[in-house]
């Protein structure tokens, strides 16, 4: 299946450049070869940065009226929508996403966010400050005021992971471009196609040369982006360990950094919760995309009075999970991205057993699937909150059930984590759940399923080892700008 028009090339300065090195990109569901993908050299990454810098400093792109950029980015999104079926197939094949997840979460949600981001970009770029009257040397009063101007930050290095690649590529590129920044996008080597296709879209709609550049490469290629003084902002999604390295790499140039990192988010199930609904939420918390999601609720904090019922209900639900090749539309649970991810999951199963947790379901590779990186959805009960299973991000399909006896204990357990990205509460008492949500140290909390969607105006991000900065909505848009104050007084 051919997905790209320029399969062996990267996109620099509006041109497709071949690379000297290629590496295979495989389908995690059956280990078949999808494409021999380009691997950018250090010289090509340097050229991409130079192209982005030139486009920002020497072209009028940052100074376009916002309405003109909005119109172009709307055409950009329209062109993406025209290739939706092709992109969804790409997401299924390259990322191992189930078809339903690819349609609605991997594609539908980011496109919804992107449309809203383009709309929000029309917010006033210049806002007035209050007037101040100040005594002056002439014995009168100076009538002084000023304005705050929001302006594009400059060259953005956007570095995206393999789990939700199209989602995160769009979530970085669209807000950066619509405010007038230029971008060098570097995807995961596992999922380069979902980035490179955006270069084809850029060509189609006439995006100015150098405004969007797409490079591939290894860790060293990423390091060039995070250390180069010509890059003004690094916008990164990935693990907390890599986030540590990026922060250190950006320090000598005092580079601005936005990072959405790992998570070990808690789902709190109070005694009055609807157990069926709570168990369904918990199921998604570690089985969506085979557990490969930073914001998934993999710690299930359950009131001890209902914990046996909760565990039994969740165990029964796991029996209805259909594991297999996600190209099959009836499959609702696919593979992990690579063998290394499955091996890491297997290690955590053994860690949990060694720590004394009770294996309720799963814990091994499924029978009959000899090709692909499959692992059964796995549930542990009697997990200690201070255990490695409860404290470390597995990034695989393991749920951990932890008991509690009162609300204060639940909040303390939820907060006893190095991470703080997401969270959820299930309770018949929405008011009490809201009070608890205010006390949980995390970037977001959903009550009884939240808003029914990922809200496009809601700022998304974390605290502690889950990173800093926000994505989406006006706050996310503003991360790609800086504030300039221009002051003046009446003559």
The verdict on 20 and 160 lying in the same domain is yes
The verdict on 365 and 440 lying in the same domain is yes
The verdict on 226 and 340 lying in the same domain is no
474 a catalytic residue: no
For residue 379, how many other CB atoms are within 10 A of its CB? Answer: 28
Q: How far apart are CA 158 and CA 137, in angstroms?
A: 51
The verdict on 341 and 450 lying in the same domain is yes
* Average model confidence (pLDDT) across the chain: 97
* 174: CB partners within 8 A, 6+ apart: 73, 76, 77, 114, 117, 118
Asked if the structure places residue 433 within a domain, the reply is: yes
The per-residue pLDDT for range 294-331, each reduced to its tens digit, is 999 999 999 999 999 999 999 999 999 999 999 999 99
- Give the single-character DSSP code of 127: E
Which tokens go with 382?
Answer: 């009697």
Beta strand pairing call for 141-152 and 126-128: antiparallel
Asked if the structure places residue 363 within a domain, the reply is: yes
Biggest CA-to-CA distance, the chain: 90
pTM > 0.75: yes or no: yes
Of 260, 393, 471, 479, which is the active-site residue? Answer: 260
The verdict on 364 and 425 lying in the same domain is yes
The verdict on 291 and 248 lying in the same domain is no
Please count the structural domains in the chain: 2
Q: How far apart are CA 399 and CA 181, in angstroms?
A: 40
DSSP bridge pairs for 424: 267, 446
The verdict on 445 and 400 lying in the same domain is yes
What's the CATH code of the domain at 324?
A: 3.40.309.10
Asked if the structure places residue 4 within a domain, the reply is: no
The verdict on 450 and 480 lying in the same domain is no
What's the CATH code of the domain at 68?
A: 3.40.605.10
Asked if the structure places residue 463 within a domain, the reply is: no
Order of strands, sheet of 398-404, starting from the edge strand that comes earlier in the sequence? 358-361, 378-381, 398-404, 299-303, 266-269, 423-426, 446-447
The verdict on 243 and 271 lying in the same domain is no
Q: How far apart are CA 118 and CA 473, in angstroms?
A: 10
Domain containing residue 385: 266-455
For residue 316, how many other CB atoms are within 10 A of its CB? Answer: 11
* 340: CB partners within 8 A, 6+ apart: none
The verdict on 383 and 478 lying in the same domain is no
Asked if the structure places residue 460 within a domain, the reply is: no
The verdict on 390 and 279 lying in the same domain is yes
The per-residue pLDDT for range 70-79, each reduced to its tens digit, is 999 999 999 9
Asked if the structure places residue 420 within a domain, the reply is: yes
Asked if the structure places residue 462 within a domain, the reply is: no
The verdict on 94 and 197 lying in the same domain is yes
Q: Per-residue confidence of the chain (491 residues) as pLDDT tens digits?
A: 578 999 899 999 999 999 999 999 999 999 999 999 999 999 999 999 999 999 999 999 999 999 999 999 999 999 999 999 999 999 999 999 999 999 999 999 999 999 999 999 999 999 999 999 999 999 999 999 999 999 999 999 999 999 999 999 999 999 999 999 999 999 999 999 999 999 999 999 999 999 999 999 988 888 999 999 999 999 999 999 999 999 999 999 999 999 999 999 999 999 999 999 999 999 999 999 999 999 999 999 999 999 999 999 999 999 999 999 999 999 999 999 999 999 999 999 999 999 999 999 999 999 999 999 999 999 999 999 999 999 999 999 999 999 999 999 999 999 999 999 999 999 999 999 999 999 999 999 999 999 999 999 999 999 999 999 999 999 999 999 999 999 999 97
Q: How far apart are CA 487 and CA 482, in angstroms?
A: 16
- How many alpha carbons lie under 13 Å from residue 146 in its C-beta half-sphere? 8
């Amino acid at each position: 299946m051919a997905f790209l028009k320029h399969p062996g090339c990267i996109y620099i300065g509006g041109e497709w450049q071949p690379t000297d090195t290629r590496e295979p990109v495989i389908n995690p569901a059956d280990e078949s070869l999808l494409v021999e993908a380009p691997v950018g050299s250090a010289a090509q990454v340097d050229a991409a940065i130079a192209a982005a810098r030139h486009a920002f400093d020497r072209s009028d792109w940052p100074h376009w009226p916002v309405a003109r950029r909005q119109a172009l980015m709307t055409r950009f999104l329209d062109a993406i929508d025209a290739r939706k079926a092709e992109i969804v197939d790409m997401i299924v094949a390259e990322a191992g996403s189930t078809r339903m997840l690819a349609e609605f979460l991997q594609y539908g949600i980011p496109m919804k966010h992107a449309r809203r981001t383009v709309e929000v970009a029309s917010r006033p770029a210049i806002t007035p400050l209050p007037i101040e009257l100040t005594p002056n040397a002439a014995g009168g009063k100076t009538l002084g005021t000023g304005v705050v101007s929001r302006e594009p930050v400059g060259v953005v290095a956007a570095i995206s992971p393999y789990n939700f690649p199209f989602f995160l590529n769009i979530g970085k590129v669209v807000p950066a471009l619509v405010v007038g920044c230029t971008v060098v996008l570097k995807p995961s080597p596992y999922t380069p196609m979902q980035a490179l296709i955006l270069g084809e879209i850029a060509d189609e709609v006439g995006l100015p040369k150098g405004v969007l550049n797409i490079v591939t490469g290894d860790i060293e290629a990423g390091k060039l982006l995070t250390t180069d003084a010509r890059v003004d902002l690094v916008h990164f999604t990935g693990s907390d360990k890599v986030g540590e390295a990026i922060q250190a790499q950006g320090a000598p140039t005092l580079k601005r950094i936005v990072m959405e990192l790992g998570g070990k988010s808690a789902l709190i199930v109070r005694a009055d919760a609807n157990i069926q609904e709570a168990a369904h939420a918990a199921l998604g918390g570690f089985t969506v995309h085979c557990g490969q999601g930073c914001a998934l609720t993999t710690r299930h904090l359950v009131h001890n009075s209902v914990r046996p019922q909760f565990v039994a209900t969740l165990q029964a639900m796991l029996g209805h999970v259909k594991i297999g090749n996600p190209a099959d539309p009836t499959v609702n649970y696919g593979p992990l991205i690579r063998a290394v991810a499955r091996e890491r999951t297997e290690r955590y199963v053994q860690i949990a057993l060694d720590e004394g947790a009770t294996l309720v379901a799963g814990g091994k590779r499924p029978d009959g699937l000899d090709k692909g990186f499959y692992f059964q959805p796995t549930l542990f009960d009697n997990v200690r909150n201070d255990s490695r299973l409860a404290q470390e991000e597995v990034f695989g399909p393991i749920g951990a059930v932890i008991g509690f006896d009162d609300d204060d204990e639940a909040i303390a357990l939820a907060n006893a984590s190095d991470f703080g990205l997401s969270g959820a509460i299930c309770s018949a008492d929405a008011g009490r759940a809201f009070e608890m949500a205010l006390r949980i140290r995390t970037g977001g909390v959903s009550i009884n399923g939240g808003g029914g969607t990922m809200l496009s105006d809601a700022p998304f991000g974390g605290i502690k080892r889950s990173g800093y900065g926000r994505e989406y909505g006006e706050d996310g848009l503003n991360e790609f700008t800086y504030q300039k104050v221009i002051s003046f007084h009446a003559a």
